[in-house]
């Protein structure tokens, strides 16, 4: 018998602004840190940029029609901050807001619930020039932006997400430098993490001040499932240390009102955390209406230092600089098993573990899977169709893990497939395809893959078959 998801479960897909919109110089939009980063030689595969991406800015009506054809009940998208506030300060540009108004109206007309993410990594370049996320002022600028968006769309959008994966913004943007803005300073990493937390708290308050009380506010965390290479005390301590850097640094203050004490002691040789001011933790610890979890693969660590000169197998891109402050003596290992084109091991048990962890840590807090998916080397066949059975098996396994978590008592209310469309995959350029819909980047023609139709059946029936189609 197929497994049935609860009535009202949201079947969605997700995207982000810089990865799909294009139109980077239209209607008053100014550069974000990703415009600058992708135009810097050597920062992205093939020097590719999001200048055009998949031209969603001009093709959004067709893309929404495609969502409706696939039976999606929800669509999670992000707003380009510099399209709305070109300098990251002051009044909004109405042309920028109007694009998102049109997109939301189109979604609602097709019966698709919009979910807005305010920040998916594309800080206005002017704010980076003023110091970026390591500077406290950036958090206040984010609150101003959040208020603008809440006023503009709060009458029509009920689901809001402040930040997407702040770990990537702080640790990959300011630590390893593989993401924009490409800085490599461990202290800046921790300062950025705190000010992203502060931005979340201030932004949550700003949204609630600007919107109807019925609207919900969440955050999307790419919380890692950290596993030890062995059960030795040393390896278990390595798990603890990386768990604090990957997870506790965000969910500690957001969900519990405090940073883990051992995170502070682990990093004492780098910082005294004096940038955490009186009242910050109370501001960050705003009551949430839901928690978004993004999951792709577990992480395997041990205490033994990696062999000098070998690649750090943490799955976050190659860099001479570690994204993990004060953890140079922790080794990351490649997990065994089937891998996606990203080199990430397919292990759906990690998603079940992640859901159940937050069900225990924050009982009563609804959960949405706001990103889950896989990149494969998709190519059209001779007949023009795109058959992707590996992605179908991946989705089957992870939806089954989600359903098992619901059976085990988790309040999971929706699942957003990453991603709706093939797109600009950050420093990987256009070399990695995560989409359920194939995009020919030369012609911009969209072709739903087999996985899109398989997922459409799940959205239509709310049921998961025992085995995926071949």
Q: Which residue of the set 371, 425, 442, 463 is catalytic?
A: 371
Alpha-carbon radius of gyration of the chain: 21
Whole-number Å distance between alpha carbons of 21 and 50: 8
- First-to-last alpha carbon distance for the chain, in angstroms, is 18
* 445 neighbors 402 (Cβ within 8 angstroms): no
* b/e per residue 37-46 (b: at least 16 CB within 10 A): bbeeeebbee
Q: Which residue of the set 128, 165, 320, 338 is catalytic?
A: 165
Judged by DSSP in three states, 331 sits in: strand
Whole-number Å distance between alpha carbons of 304 and 238: 9
Residue 17 corresponds to which tokens in the numbers above? Answer: 């602004």
Residue found by looking up tokens 């940073």 in the block: 259
Phi, psi of 331 (to 5 degrees): -100, 140
| Closest by CA position to 22, among listed 341, 374, 439 | 439
Answer yes or no: 371 catalytic: yes
If you ran DSSP here, which 8-state letter would residue 172 be given? Answer: I
Residue 334 corresponds to which tokens in the numbers above? Answer: 């490649």
Dihedral over Cα of 309, 311, 312, 318: its sign: positive
192 alpha carbon, distance to own chain's centre: 17
Answer yes or no: 128 catalytic: no
Residue 76 bridge partners (DSSP): 14, 115
Enzyme catalytic residues = 165, 371
């Amino acid at each position: 018998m197929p497994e049935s998801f609860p009535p009202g479960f949201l079947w969605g897909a997700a995207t982000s602004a810089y990865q799909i919109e294009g139109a980077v110089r239209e209607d008053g939009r100014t550069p974000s840190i990703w415009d600058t980063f992708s135009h810097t030689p050597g920062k992205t595969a093939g020097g590719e940029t999001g200048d055009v991406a998949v031209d969603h800015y001009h093709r959004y009506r067709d893309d929404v029609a495609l969502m409706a054809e696939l039976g999606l009940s929800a669509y999670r998208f992000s707003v380009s901050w510099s399209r709305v506030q070109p300098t990251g300060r002051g009044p909004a540009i109405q042309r920028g807001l109007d694009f998102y108004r049109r997109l939301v109206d189109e979604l609602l007309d097709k019966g698709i619930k919009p979910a807005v993410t305010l920040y998916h990594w594309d800080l206005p370049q002017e704010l980076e020039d003023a110091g970026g996320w390591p500077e406290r002022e950036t958090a206040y600028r984010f609150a101003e932006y959040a208020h603008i968006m809440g006023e503009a769309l709060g009458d029509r959008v009920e689901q809001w997400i402040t930040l997407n994966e702040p770990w990537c913004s702080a640790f990959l943007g300011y630590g390893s430098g593989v993401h924009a803005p490409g800085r490599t300073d461990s202290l800046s990493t921790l300062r950025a993490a705190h000010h992203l937390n502060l931005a979340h708290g201030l932004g949550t308050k700003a949204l609630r001040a600007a919107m109807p009380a019925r609207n919900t506010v969440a955050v999307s965390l790419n919380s890692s499932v950290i596993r030890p290479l062995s059960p030795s005390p040393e390896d278990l301590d390595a798990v603890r240390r990386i768990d604090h850097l990957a997870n506790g640094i965000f969910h500690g203050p957001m969900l519990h009102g405090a940073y883990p004490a051992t995170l502070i002691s682990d990093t004492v040789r780098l910082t005294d955390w004096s940038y955490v001011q009186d009242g910050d933790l109370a501001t960050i610890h705003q009551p949430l209406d839901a928690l978004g979890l993004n999951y792709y693969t577990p992480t395997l660590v041990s205490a033994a230092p990696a062999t000098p000169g070998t690649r750090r197998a943490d799955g976050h891109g190659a860099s001479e600089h570690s994204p993990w402050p004060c953890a140079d003596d922790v080794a990351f290992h490649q997990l065994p098993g089937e891998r996606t084109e990203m080199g990430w091991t397919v292990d759906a048990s990690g998603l079940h573990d992640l859901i159940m962890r937050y069900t225990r840590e924050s009982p009563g807090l609804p959960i949405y899977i706001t990103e889950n998916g896989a990149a494969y080397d998709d190519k059209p066949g001779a007949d023009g169709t795109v058959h992707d059975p590996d992605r179908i098996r991946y989705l089957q396994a992870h939806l089954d893990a989600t359903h098992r978590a619901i059976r085990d008592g988790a309040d999971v209310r929706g699942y957003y497939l990453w991603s709706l469309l093939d797109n600009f995959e950050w420093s990987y350029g256009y070399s990695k395809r995560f989409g359920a819909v194939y995009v020919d980047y030369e012609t911009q023609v969209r072709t739903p893959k087999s996985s899109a139709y398989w997922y459409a059946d799940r959205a239509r029936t709310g049921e998961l078959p025992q085995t995926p189609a071949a």
